[in-house]
């Protein structure tokens, strides 16, 4: 949606505040589904969206997992990309410069295998021009704790949050893993550790088996499930976390239509991210934004906050 077409909706306040990060509207593209932005430049006007979350960056470049890395399921997508990325140096030297020049609100998703790696990433990205916030992916394995993901225990989730927060002045959004028993206990732990906002959910662990070859379909055996199949779970978790914490919540998981987005705002999300839907239709985010505005106009809502269902 172009900025000029949004100006006609002056009664509606589309801007949202995620801690100190001000977004012009609440529609973001999710990490891993919009590359580093420039991959979509000929397909959509990224500046019209609230912003983008770039593919997760690590200290060193990563090759990712062996193929096959993607498998479609009914209503969903299994991916085992394995966090392939260009690494922090190439990101700083090439990718962020284009995003800054284009004035695209940019949230950088970071990942690490130790607390020290997260801390180093945060320190190196602090004050890099063009970065508006960090999103901390805590679904990664903690190599010092036998490979258990940081996001599955309140203690390690809090440790990562504290380390990142101490190392950097940017707004910190902690992205939760849904592969846990009690999402609220993790959310409360990262809030207490200083997170400015929470985004959820990352993918749900799944697998598929090729019955002719009698072996798992994905090269990595397991992969992350995304897309419409996970929306009811994501919505339930956003509802719970929005009521268990008082920091802003960004809803992610299977959002494909504007109606999905409205459900997430009613559950308590202040902003949303569109992931797998962008892979199917690069214009999904723009269409969702249009639909949100129309719905708010038709129903006399003046701000995103008004959509939340009360206690
Ligand atoms: C191909 C692919 C790559 C992804 N890469 C990342 C990543 O690097 N970091 C991250 O935090 N999430 C990553 N995700 C998860 C998405 O950002 C999102 O949380 C998840 O897909 C659920 O949203 P959706 O159902 O709208 O896709 C990836 C998802 C997909 C499908």
Taking only the tens place, the pLDDT of each residue in 255-279 is 999 999 999 999 999 999 999 999 9
Cβ < 6 Å from ligand 1: which residues?
Answer: 30-33, 55-56, 77, 79, 81, 83, 109, 137, 175, 202-203, 226-227, 230, 252-255, 274-277
Radius of gyration of the chain measured on its C-alpha atoms: 18
| Residue whose CA lies nearest to ligand 1 atom number 5 | 32
Give the active site residues: 140
The set of residues, in sequence order, having a beta carbon less than 8 Å from that of 250 and lying 6+ positions away, is 18, 28, 173, 197, 198, 199, 200, 269, 270, 271, 272, 273
Report which of 103, 98, 100, 93 is spatially closest to residue 57, judged by C-alpha positions.
93
Report which of 127, 130, 58, 121 is spatially closest to residue 97, judged by C-alpha positions.
130
Q: Could you tell me the two tokens for 120?
A: 């180093």
Confidence check: pLDDT of 159 > 60: yes
Taking only the tens place, the pLDDT of each residue in 197-239 is 999 999 999 999 999 999 999 999 999 999 999 999 999 999 9
Q: State residue 25's pLDDT score.
A: 98
Ligand 1 atom with the smallest distance to the CA of 137 is 11
Q: Is the pTM of this model over 0.85?
A: yes
Ligand 1 atom with the smallest distance to the CA of 256 is 26
Q: State residue 4's pLDDT score.
A: 46
Confidence check: pLDDT of 107 > 70: yes
Confidence of residue 141 (pLDDT cuts 50, 70, 90): confident
Between 148 and 192, name the one with better pLDDT. 192
Q: Ligand 1 centre from 30 Cα, in Å?
A: 6
Average pLDDT over residues 56-71: 94
| Residue whose CA lies nearest to ligand 1 atom number 28 | 32
Q: Ligand 1 centre from 11 Cα, in Å?
A: 33
**Counting beta carbons within 10 angstroms of the beta carbon of residue 100, is it exposed (0 to 12), middle (13 to 18) or buried (19 or more)?**
middle
- What is each CA distance from 40 to 33, 45, 227, 281, in whole angstroms? 10, 8, 19, 11
Ligand 1 atom with the smallest distance to the CA of 231 is 25
Separation CA 81–CA 274 (nearest Å): 18
Confidence check: pLDDT of 127 > 90: no
Separation CA 302–CA 58 (nearest Å): 40
Confidence of residue 143 (pLDDT cuts 50, 70, 90): confident
Confidence of residue 8 (pLDDT cuts 50, 70, 90): low
Ligand 1 atom with the smallest distance to the CA of 31 is 17
Average pLDDT over residues 49-56: 97
Q: State residue 209's pLDDT score.
A: 98
Q: Ligand 1 centre from 270 Cα, in Å?
A: 19
Average pLDDT over residues 89-103: 96
Q: Ligand 1 centre from 167 Cα, in Å?
A: 25
Average pLDDT over residues 280-299: 98
Average pLDDT over residues 178-184: 97
Q: Ligand 1 centre from 303 Cα, in Å?
A: 27
Taking only the tens place, the pLDDT of each residue in 73-85 is 999 999 999 889 9
Between 51 and 144, name the one with better pLDDT. 51
């Amino acid at each position: 949606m172009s900025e000029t077409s949004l100006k006609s909706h002056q009664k509606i306040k589309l801007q949202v505040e995620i801690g100190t990060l001000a977004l012009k509207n609440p529609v973001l593209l999710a990490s891993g589904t919009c590359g580093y932005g420039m991959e979509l430049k000929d397909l959509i006007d990224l500046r019209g969206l609230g912003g983008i979350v770039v593919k997760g960056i690590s200290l060193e470049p990563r090759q990712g997992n062996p193929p096959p890395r993607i498998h479609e399921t009914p209503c969903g997508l299994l991916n085992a990309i394995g966090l392939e990325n260009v690494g922090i140096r190439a990101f700083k030297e090439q990718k962020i410069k284009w995003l800054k020049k284009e004035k695209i609100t940019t949230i950088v998703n970071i990942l690490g295998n130790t607390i020290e790696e997260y801390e180093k990433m945060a320190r190196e990205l602090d004050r890099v021009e063009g970065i508006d916030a960090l999103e901390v992916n805590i679904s990664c394995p903690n190599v010092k704790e036998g490979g258990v993901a940081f996001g599955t225990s309140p203690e390690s989730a809090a440790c990562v949050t504290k380390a990142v927060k101490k190392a950097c002045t940017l707004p910190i959004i902690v992205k939760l893993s849904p592969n846990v028993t009690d999402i609220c206990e993790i959310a409360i732990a990262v809030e207490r550790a200083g997170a400015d906002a929470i985004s959820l959910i990352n993918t749900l662990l799944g697998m598929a088996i090729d019955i002719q070859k009698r072996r798992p379909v994905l090269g990595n055996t397991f992969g992350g499930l995304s897309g419409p199949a996970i929306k009811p779970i994501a919505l339930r978790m956003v509802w719970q976390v929005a009521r268990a914490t008082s920091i802003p919540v960004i809803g992610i998981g299977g959002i494909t239509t504007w109606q999905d987005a409205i459900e997430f705002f009613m559950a308590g999300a202040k902003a949303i991210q569109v992931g797998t839907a962008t892979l199917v239709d690069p214009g999904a985010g723009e269409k969702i934004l249009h639909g949100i505005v129309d719905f708010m106009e038709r129903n006399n809502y003046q701000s995103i906050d008004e959509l939340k269902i009360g206690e």
